[in-house]
Structure 1
């Protein structure tokens, strides 16, 4: 098992160069949010921009689109070139609008890497995994539902150390990278490589919306890596990709997110307490640029 830290994260992130443009830095397509949960779209888009992606294309319902543009007017809301996708945050499979399942399945069948969150996880369990790199981001309860959909036994509460073995098993059965979220987040890929990313001293990340921020961070990291591989022509066979490098990139994204949570909690405490103070999801997103800069400096 790999333990993730600053140096291993630094190896997976890259600063832009003088020859880069927005396309060379990565274009992330985002299809998240719903009329019921529009804030998830705002948080994921915000996090992707602040992690350093070159462009975000947001394609979602009217209400989330309006809120996204109000918060981040640089976001593009029309279709076009995309090098990676983020889907599912802030959606509920049980309340999916007509035609939305078909749209999400079409994305999952594409060759670009896809980060699959929340309300899109059922499509992976249901067999919609014919494309390339897929990064699944369940929390424990979502992981149990995903496992049941894949024909595996759920873990239930208080799984403890079984989470690592179970994440690897889920990755093997789904053919995808699994990011099992928690205070000790497990990143696993089908060939058995796995890493543990600890939360580094703050439990304040356990608040609404921080998972949507993580999804945006992962999307940005993946889009940047996809753009680099596109330029270097090292992406290989999209139908049968080597997932280990993408799992390392996912672990780097988790570390950046958790470090941003620590930094936001420290700012909230303003020196008044070693354990930090309460944070919101947007606080975590606001801390991302300094954490990315720290990692690149490392």
Structure 2
């Protein structure tokens, strides 16, 4: 396995789609989020905000009433009725320990569906080996941090890796999914062995809720580029890091909060588009 290759601003810019006069909200991509819980409703707000700021055509939110109310207070343009989507985000702000049977069945249905899925946080326990899923399954992008990655590997029966790059590459191969391993340097591994990296450059991103923001960015990009899960994951990591830097710069290089990062995404997207 070769060392990871840094993902560039130019590659990120090339993946972004700019709407034309012929576009409508559906052709620009519709992302669905089944995220948040009564205990962590803010995860839903953060992911939805980030998805909108990334430039998707429509955001659907399905989740607990409390979380849905908070989402609509923040982003009233969000649709809270079920319907067609081009990608899903599941798991942010949820926990396997408190997930209901109905929620588990709903997420399993999404994982067995036909559109790409971002699998975050509390849904990672539902990920199976590719051999157990069969051939007919949607593209998955898994977004664990290091502790979640270790737990996922234990559940899959994989040994402790010798290093992060080897570990994430093996996880991608075994699950048949693109794996975005979050950290100061984020690694993106594909099932066929490609390995990319994004270094955020701002330590303030290590704070509650920024992972929910990343999941929302990724879901929006995946809805617009459903056939490019690795490109969407790499670009999401790049946008997230740059938005974190911009949010910190707005406070003279000081600390940020997750909603600052989500809000900064639109300006970062605009800068990238202008650079093309």
Instruction: Output the TM-score relative to the length of structure 2.
Output: 0.94
Match of 2:28 in 1: 25
Q: CA deviation at 1:98?
A: 2.6
Whether 2:268 is the aligned partner of 1:268: answer no
For 2:160 and 2:33, the matched residues in 1 are separated by 29
Alignment of 1:164-175 (within 5 A): 164-175=165-176
Q: Give the drift of 1:128.
A: 6.0
In the TM superposition, what whole-angstrom CA distance separates every residue of 1:242-261 from its partner, at most 9, and x where no partner exists?
xxx32122101110010000
Residue 82 in structure 1 maps to residue 85 in structure 2: yes
Moved over 3 A (4+): 125-130
Q: How does 1:201-220 map to 2 (within 5 A)?
A: 201-220=201-220
- Alpha-carbon contact 1:137-1:181 (below 8 Å) kept: yes
Structure 2 residue aligned with 1:273 = none
Contact 1:145 1:154 survives alignment (8 Å):
no
Query: Is 1:293 the equivalent of 2:276?
Result: no
**Aligned residue number for residue 240 of structure 1:** none
- Scaled by the length of structure 1, what TM-score is found? 0.88
Q: Which moved more, 1:9-18 or 1:172-181?
A: 9-18
Aligned positions, number: 269
Equivalent in the alignment of 2:185:
184
Separation in structure 1 between the aligned mates of residue 133 and residue 204 of structure 2, nearest angstrom: 35
Q: Residues of 1 paired with 2:76 and 2:93: CA distance? A: 20
Helix, strand or coil for the counterpart of 1:288?
helix
Aligned-partner Cα distance in 2 for 1:145–1:154: 10
For 2:117 and 2:99, the matched residues in 1 are separated by: 19
Write out aligned runs for 1:126-137 (5 A). 131-137=137-143
Shift of 1:132: 1.3
Partner Cα distance (2:106, 2:100) in 1 = 11
Q: Name the SS for the 1:268 alignment partner.
A: coil
* Mapped partners of 1:203, 1:151: distance in 2: 32
Select the residue among 154, 177, 181 that pairs with 1:148.
Answer: 154
Structure 2 residues without counterparts, runs of 5 or longer: none
Aligned partner of residue 207 in structure 1, secondary structure? coil
Q: In 1, Cα distance between the equivalents of 2:272 and 2:96?
A: 36
In structure 1, distance between residues paired with 2:177 and 2:23:
30
Across the aligned residues of Structure 1 and Structure 2, the Cα RMSD in angstroms comes to 1.3
The answer for the alignment partner of 1:6 in structure 2 is 9
Show structure 1 runs of 5+ residues with no match: 227-234, 236-244, 270-275
Q: Tell me the equivalent position of 1:95.
A: 98
C-alpha deviation, 1:285, in angstroms: 0.7
